[in-house]
Structure 1
Amino acid sequence: MSQSISSRNIKSALAPNPAVGGQNNESSNSLGDFIQETLALTQRLFIQLQRRPSTLIAGIIQPFMWLVLFGALFSKAPAGLFGSDLSYAKFLAPGVIVFTAFSGALNAGLPVMFDREFGFLNRLLVAPLSSRYSIVAASTIYIIALSFIQTAVIIFASAILGAGLPGIVGLSAIALIVFLIVLGVTALSLGLAFALPGHIELLAVIFVTNLPLLFASTALAPLSFMAGWLQVIASLNPLTYAIEPIRYIYGHGDWAINSIVMNTPWIGFSFGSVILVLLGFDALILLAIQPLLRRRFA
C-alpha cells in the first residue's frame, strides 16, 4: 500500500536526531522537525493520490457537469433575473467554486479516519514526533492544494462557458476566500474524524450536511428569491459569505475592500467585513477542536 511506499521517507522524517543535546537545542530544532514531519506526511497523501487519482478527477468532473447542466437549464432566463447585467454563467460560477472547495474540505477527515481503522494512525501516535499536530497540518495542506487545483480548473472552465475571467487581483482575492473557507471546514472535518467512532458515521454526517448547506446558501439562487425563513438560514451559512464576494468580483471589475458585496435581512456586508466573518469562522472551529485533539494526541 501507499503506507509502505512512503515509509522510508516518513521514518527518516520522524526519527529522533541523536546529535541534538540539551533543552535549548531541542527547542531550536522543534520547528524544523515539525516542518520535516509535516512534509513527509503530506508526501504520503500525494503518493496515495498519485496511485488513486480518481478522487481528484471526480472532484473536477462533478463541478464541470454542474456548470454545463445548470448553465443549460437557465440559459434562457431573462437578462436581469439574477442581478444587473449578470448572466447565469457568471452567477453560477462562484457557487460552484465554493461548493467544490467545501465538498473537498468536508471529506478531509476520511483519510484520517481510515488511518485510524487500519492502525496506521496508532503507529504515528507512538512515533517520536516533535508535534502530533503535524498529522493535522499535513491533511490541511493536502486538502488546500487539491482545492486550489480544482478551483483553477473551474475558473478556466467557467470562463470558456461564458462567465469571464477576473483580473489578477480578483483571482488573488478568490484564492484568499477559498483558502479561508477550506481551512475552517477542513478543521471541522478533521475534528469529526477524531470524534466519531468510524467512517460510516463520518460519511453519514457528510451526506446529511452536504446538499442542505448547498441549497441553504446563495450558490444556486440569490437571497431575494428565497422564502423569509430560508433567507435567515442562508445569511447564517458560511458558504454564503464565501460565495457572495466572489460573485461580486465576477460582476464588478471595480470592486474594492469597502464594496458592499451582500445584503442580509439585517445589515449589508462589505468585502472586508466578509473576510472578517470567514476569519472568525476559522478561529471558532480551530478553538473548538483544540480540546478534542489534545485528548486524542495525549
Structure 2
Amino acid sequence: MSSTITPSKPNVTLQPEVVQVSPEPNFFGELVQETLALTRRLFIQLQRRPSTLIAGVIQPLIWLILFGALFQNAPQGLFGNTVNYGQFLAAGVIVFTAFSGALNAGLPVMFDREFGFLNRLLVAPLATRYSIVFASAIFIVTLSAIQTAAIIATSAFLGAGWPDPLGLAVISLILLLLVFGVTGLSLGLAFALPGHIELIAVIFVTNLPLLFASTALAPLSFMPKWLQVVATLNPLSYAIEPIRYIYLHSNWALNSIVMQAPWGAVTLGGALLVLLVLDVVAFLTIQPLLRRTFA
C-alpha cells in the first residue's frame, strides 16, 4: 500500500507594502534657499568686479570733501548759528549715496535679460519667481549699508559728529524705507524698458535733478519759492531733513518739526509716513508688471 506524501507548504509571511510618501514641499524653505542662492550669485559678481562698490564709496566721499571745502566760507548763519556746511551736507550725501545705489538696482536684472540668464530663471522650477526680486533687494540694501556706513564714519571724522544709538537706528530705518521704494521702481524699469541703454539714460536724467531739487545742498530758505515747492515734493527731502535733524539735535522726537514746507510743518513721524507711502505705491505700481513678466 503506497502512501502519498503531500509536500508541506512553506511558511510565508506577507509583508505589508510600503508606500513611499514624498514629503510636502516647504514653500518658505525653498523661497529662502532660492533667494540666498541668487543673492550669493550677485555677491560673486561683485567680488569679481569690485569697482562698483569702490566707486560707490569714493564718489560721495569726494562730494563730501569738495562741497564742504567749497562752501566753508558761506555767510554766517545761513545753515544755523552753530552749524558748519560739513555738518549740513552730511545728511544729504548719506541719503544721495543710498538713493544712487538703489536707483542702479535694476541694472543687474537688465543685463540678465539681455544675456538670456533671466529667461533660464523664468523657466526654472522655482518655488516663486519673486525670489529674483528679493535677492536684488537684499543685495542693494547690503551694498547701500556698506556705502552709507563709510560716509557716516567719514563725516564724523570731518566734524559732523555721531548720533546716539537710537538716532542711528532711526537713520537706518529711514534709509531702508528709501532704498526699498527706489529699488522697487528701478526693478520695475528693468522689466519695462527695452534695454540697458534706456535704463542708464533714466538713471542719468533722474539723479542730478532730484539731488539739486532737494534740501541736500542748500536749505529751503535759500531757494526761490517755486524751487521750495519742488523740493518739498521730492521724496529725498523727506529722508534728508529727518536725518539732518537727528544729527543736529540730541532731543529729537517723532513730533519734532524737521521741515517747514510751504503748506505747513513736517514732523519726523510725518516724514517716515511719506517714505512708507512711497514704498507701498512703488510696489503696488510694479506688481502688475512683475506678474505679467513672471507669468
Q: Given the two structures, how large is their TM-score scaled by the length of structure 1? A: 0.91
- CA shift for structure 1 position 78: 3.2
> What does 1:57-136 correspond to in 2, within 5 Å?
57-136=54-133
Which residue of the partner structure matches residue 222 of structure 1? 219
Which residue of the partner structure matches residue 161 of structure 1? 158
Which residue of the partner structure matches residue 185 of structure 2? 188
Which residue of the partner structure matches residue 260 of structure 2? 263
Residue ranges of structure 1 left out of the alignment (5+ in a row): 1-17
Residues in 1 aligned to 2:267 and 2:151: alpha-carbon distance in whole angstroms: 25
Larger radius of gyration: 2
Matched, 1:175 2:172: yes
Matched, 1:207 2:204: yes
Which residue of the partner structure matches residue 51 of structure 2? 54
Bigger share in helix: 1
- CA shift for structure 1 position 87: 1.2
Q: Is contact 1:79-1:86 (8 Å) kept?
A: no
Specify the code of the residue in structure 1 equivalent to 2:219. P
CA RMSD of aligned residues (A): 1.1
Alignment match of 1:289 (pick from 263, 286, 290):
286
Q: Is contact 1:79-1:85 (8 Å) kept?
A: no
Alignment match of 1:142 (pick from 134, 139, 158):
139
SS at match of 2:83: coil
Q: Is contact 1:90-1:163 (8 Å) kept?
A: yes
**Structure 1 residues 119 and 31, CA gap change in structure 2 (3 angstroms):** same
Specify the code of the residue in structure 2 equivalent to 1:133. Y
The Cα offsets for residues 108-165 of structure 1, whole Å up to 9 and x where unpaired, read as 0000000000000000000000000000000000000000111110001001111111
- CA shift for structure 1 position 75: 1.1
Residues in 2 aligned to 1:53 and 1:137: alpha-carbon distance in whole angstroms: 22
Q: Is contact 1:193-1:202 (8 Å) kept?
A: yes
Residues in 1 aligned to 2:47 and 2:79: alpha-carbon distance in whole angstroms: 40
Which residue of the partner structure matches residue 15 of structure 1? none
Residues in 2 aligned to 1:78 and 1:159: alpha-carbon distance in whole angstroms: 23
- CA shift for structure 1 position 62: 0.3
Specify the code of the residue in structure 2 equivalent to 1:101. A
Q: How many residues align?
A: 276
- CA shift for structure 1 position 79: 3.5
- CA shift for structure 1 position 83: 2.3
Structure 1 residue runs of 4 or more that deviate by more than 3 Å after TM superposition: 18-21
Residues in 1 aligned to 2:163 and 2:77: alpha-carbon distance in whole angstroms: 21
Q: Given the two structures, how large is their TM-score scaled by the length of structure 2? A: 0.92
Residues in 1 aligned to 2:284 and 2:290: alpha-carbon distance in whole angstroms: 10
Residues in 2 aligned to 1:213 and 1:229: alpha-carbon distance in whole angstroms: 15
Q: Is contact 1:170-1:249 (8 Å) kept?
A: yes
The Cα offsets for residues 158-180 of structure 1, whole Å up to 9 and x where unpaired, read as 01111111111111111111100
